[in-house]
Amino acid sequence: MKLNKEIISYLIFGVLTTLVNIVTFWLFDDILEMDYKLATTIAWIVSVLFAFITNKLYVFNSKDMQIQAVLKELATFMFFRFLSYLLDLATMIVCVELLKIDNLLAKILANVLVVIFNYFASKFVIFKKAKEEGN
């Protein structure tokens, strides 16, 4: 039951993270008329920080708030999120350019892979130590 709650929480906060990304992008791109590449970068940073906080506190229940522990988790989280960005991009290139899959279908497939990758990275690497100490 605990695993199901964790997965459901992860998916709910994943949807919220996606909304944060889209709204932040829209705000900087459309409202503030910023260059779309910069708006994309800002949206990625804001959404990754949102994802870190929600994953730490509500999905994986990592309660260690010592600055060293938080910074270590944040650095690891950012590293794995950057890896997932590369996975996303590589999947898109393979699907669209090599396999000739429709762009939207390729993006959906890439997102499925990224969500799975991010979940396991968070569960077994990023928040693992803090979770083990709580047991």
pLDDT digits (tens, 9 = 90+) for 48-73: 999 999 999 999 988 899 999 999 99
Residue-wise DSSP of 39-73: HHHHHHHHHHHHHHHHIIIIIS------HHHHHHH
Is residue 59 within 8 A of residue 9, CB to CB? The reply is yes
Is residue 117 within 8 A of residue 91, CB to CB? The reply is no
pLDDT digits (tens, 9 = 90+) for 82-114: 999 999 999 999 999 999 999 888 888 998 899
In which band, very low, low, confident or very high, does the pLDDT at 130 lie, cut at 50, 70 and 90? very low
pLDDT of 113 reads 93
State what percent of residues in the chain have pLDDT above 70: 93
